[in-house]
Chains A and B, each alone.
Chain A
Amino acid sequence: MTGTLLYGGAIGLVIIGLYAIVARRHLMRNIFGLAVMESGVNLLLASVGYRPGGHAPILVAGAAPGPLVDPIPQALVLTAIVIGFGVLALALALVVRVRQAYGTLDNRAVARRLRAENGEARS
């Protein structure tokens, strides 16, 4: 039961994050959505290693206390969080630049200005 609860929660977070990116037009909300989504994914990744009744996978004095939790997903989550953090920093820097450049953070307006500058004639 706990498994489905965990996975359901993680996937719920992902879907909320995605909804924020897709439905909202404000770039900052999109970035927040991105962060929510990454946390959801990390939660999913971590919950994969869950074993009911498992202990922390630390060998105390050479003997394991009982059923251990799978350590590998935790390692993966560590890296994923770091990567998420890095990408988020870059995103915020770019948002500041876009705000200076276009004075607006509405995704649709930014996209239209961007295409105009690229010289894409709207034939």
Chain B
Amino acid sequence: MSELDFLFAFAAVLIAGVMCCGRDGRAGWAAMAVYGAMLVAVMAAAGKVAGGSIPSALGFSVLGHKIGWRMDGLGWFFSMLTAGAAFFASWYAAGEWGRAQPGMKTQHLLLALNVAAMLLLVNAGDLLSLFIGWELVSWAAFAMMAQKGGPAQPAAMRYMIYALAGAMAVLAGIMIVHAVTGSFAYKDFAAAFGAMSSGMKWLLAGLFAAGFGVKMALMPFHLWQAAAYSETPGASSAFLNAVSARMGLFALILVLVKVMGLSALAGLHVPLIGLSAKGLLMWIAAFTMVIPTFIALMQTDARMLLTWHGIGQGGYMLLGVLVGTGLGTAGGLLHVFNYATYQMALFLAVTAVIHRTGTSDLDRLGGLITRMPWTYVTLLMGIIGLAGLPPMNGFVSKWMIYRSLLDSGSAFLLIFAFVGTLGTILSVYKLIHNIFLGRLRPQHEGVREAPWSMVAPMLALGGIGFVTGWFPGLALNLTDIAQAAMGAPELPHGLGGVATARGSLNMIWVVSILLVAIGFGAIVFYFLGNRRYEVNQLNNYAGGHFLSPQVPYQFSHEFYPGLARVIGPWYRGSIVRAEQGIGTLLDVSGDLWRGIYHLAWTPLYLLAATVIALGWAIMGGM
């Protein structure tokens, strides 16, 4: 019974446990304990998995193909992420938020199913078990998205169609590999990939990239993610946001980087323009970074804004991994870890706001800082991480990605990355301003801070983000294991950060100096001036006008009018129209075929067939 079997056993026990007695209050805490145990088990397995891989007893052979599961470094990293995200999601759901939810048992059950499916996916031993895990993850996520009913169902439906199309592409890819190499093992595929014809290479790379790209919401397939993830109930959507989309990245890394190898991808050249397959994928990642971020800028719902950012951040991770150098891959993987922490903190904070005020519409919130300070602190830590500013961990991974892009000399990609970051800063400020800053609306007067059972996990996540931001070495040790398993070059790093010849980063010094400077600023501020007097928010300059609570005095609707006038016309939603086009094509052809069955008398074809056949017969001479 290796650690991996313990993990699978934990997952199975959890599903059974929630299934039988998910109703009573303590189920939430029990689930949290089990996820915690899983996290500890995964961490304990770090030593064994660093070198080789942990075999698992789970495995069977069908139609002559052996299907098995084992955990290697990459699988270990993503299992750790899944267990951690599930731990925090269940901790959040175990508290008062859970008690306030209608169908909490189903949510616990679906979370357990999702975790089990993800463990099966990330520890897949060969292509077939990878596909089995992939399908289970897709369907578990579908169930989780559709559970709330109402608007969630069309969103989940749209996800399911995308996911299934992606899965079919992956299945076709796997079967082609089987036809060429005769087996589903990774090493056979890797060995045979070099010798394939470039057409076949393009086909396989295209199928796998498209199939896995759907789950990661890469550019052309990104329309489903925002609505689907926002409609899921709070804690589960935080889990989905933090980890579920990264399963696509795991599979992409596994197949495109580890098995096919970036050098092989770089070798494939698009006939006309001088771009290689790797370059094309990097440009897709670049567009995925920028365009969803600027769509997020225009959103008016907090959850939609965050999910659109989730898509954008996915572009960073893929870009980092695709650069291929030790620094780039470490940056990409670290960004996966960082993203999971701050995105989950953000989503839990927004859920706390929804829990208290009942709405997440940015045009109907404001001034909550005085009522929900700790939620504000979490959201602040989250947006600093999401925007990638120094004290938090988001900055470290973005710096590493930029540094690797600079080393590999791809300047224009770096410009895209930089513009993406700027867009993020603008939209996250809009998020925190419209919810917490500005004028407190009369109806939110009685709002109280979220209960401690919700605030604790949020602050813990924010804390993790800060600590790994201050000492990135802690997180880099985790990514080293994944990097080694991926075959990417090793990255020498200290506790503070990375020291390369062409520019180094030591976060210990950066954050310490920042704190010292802030301390110095506090001294200047608190001791040099007179004691400050806090005033009522109605005591505000309004051009001499007397402010009263009934007078709405808040600027939050359409927060960047100047920018909107410039980039407004660019939002033509061409991809949305393309998607609708496919929908109507399907309906029209459906009606056409169905119409055939409604013709009064259809065997006209028979007549034609017979005439032809008889003619042949006679011509052939009886």
Contact = CB atoms under 8 A, between A and B. Distances in A.
Interface in A12-40: 14-15, 18-19, 21-22, 25
A7 B622 contact: yes
A18 B598 contact: no
A21 B603 contact: yes
A113 interface: no
A15 B611 contact: yes
A22 B618 contact: no
Contact of A7 (B601, B604, B618): B618
Nearest to A21: B603
A122 B622 CA distance: 48
Contact of B614 (A14, A19, A22): A14
Interface string B596-622: 001011011011001100100010001
B294 to A, nearest CB: 39
A22 B600 contact: no
A108 interface: yes
A22 B622 contact: no
Contacts of B598: 111, 115, 122
Contact of B622 (A3, A21, A25, A107): A3
A8 interface: yes
A111 B600 contact: yes
Contacts of B600: 25, 107-108, 111
A18 B622 contact: no
A15 B604 CA distance: 12
A107 B601 contact: yes
Given A108-B600, A111-B600, A4 B606 contact: no
Contacts of B618: 4, 7-8, 11
A105 interface: no
A95 interface: no
A79 to B, nearest CB: 21
Nearest to B615: A11
A25 B61 CA distance: 59
B614 A11 contact: yes
A21 B607 CA distance: 10
Nearest to A8: B618
Contacts of B607: 18-19, 22
A23 B610 CA distance: 15
- Among the interface residues B603, B618, B622, which one has the most CB atoms of the partner chain A within 10 A? B622
Interface string A107-123: 11001000100000011
Interface residues of B, number: 13
User: Binding site of B, secondary structure by majority: helix, strand, loop or mixed?
Assistant: helix
B622 A48 contact: yes
A39 to B, nearest CB: 16
Contacts, number: 35
- Among the interface residues B591, B601, B611, which one has the most CB atoms of the partner chain A within 10 A? B601
A33 B622 CA distance: 25
User: Binding site of A, secondary structure by majority: helix, strand, loop or mixed?
Assistant: helix
A22 B604 contact: yes
A122 B618 CA distance: 44
B601 A22 contact: yes
B610 A22 contact: no
A48 B618 CA distance: 12
Contacts of A4: 618
A15 B611 CA distance: 8
A48 B539 CA distance: 109
B610 A14 contact: yes
Interface string B81-94: 00000000000000
Nearest to A109: B600
Contacts of B610: 14-15, 18
B606 A18 contact: yes
A3 to B, nearest CB: 6
Interface in B309-341: none
A3 B598 CA distance: 42
Contacts of B611: 15
Nearest to B618: A7
Contacts of B614: 11, 14-15
A122 B590 CA distance: 12
A80 B604 CA distance: 25
A43 B614 CA distance: 15
Interface in B565-616: 591, 598, 600-601, 603-604, 606-607, 610-611, 614
A110 B153 CA distance: 40
Interface in A44-80: 48
A8 to B, nearest CB: 7
Nearest to A30: B601
- Among the interface residues A4, A8, A11, A14, which one has the most CB atoms of the partner chain B within 10 A? A11
Interface string B7-26: 00000000000000000000
B595 to A, nearest CB: 10
A48 B621 CA distance: 12
Contacts of A14: 610, 614
A25 B604 CA distance: 13
B621 to A, nearest CB: 9
Contacts of A107: 600-601
A20 to B, nearest CB: 11
Contacts of A11: 614, 618
A48 B604 CA distance: 27
A53 B137 CA distance: 78
Contacts of B604: 22
B594 to A, nearest CB: 8
A91 B600 CA distance: 19
A115 B594 CA distance: 12
B622 to A, nearest CB: 6
A111 B604 CA distance: 16
Nearest to A108: B600
B597 to A, nearest CB: 9
> Sorted from nearest, which 6 A-B pairs have the closest CB atoms?
A108-B600, A11-B614, A22-B607, A18-B607, A111-B600, A7-B622
Interface of B: 591, 598, 600-601, 603-604, 606-607, 610-611, 614, 618, 622
Interface of A: 3-4, 7-8, 11, 14-15, 18-19, 21-22, 25, 48, 107-108, 111, 115, 122-123
18 contacts: A3-B622, A7-B622, A11-B614, A11-B618, A14-B610, A15-B611, A18-B606, A18-B607, A18-B610, A21-B603, A25-B600, A48-B622, A107-B601, A108-B600, A108-B601, A111-B598, A111-B600, A123-B591
Given A18-B607, A22-B606, A115-B598, 9 more contacts: A3-B622, A4-B618, A11-B618, A19-B607, A22-B603, A22-B607, A25-B601, A108-B600, A122-B598
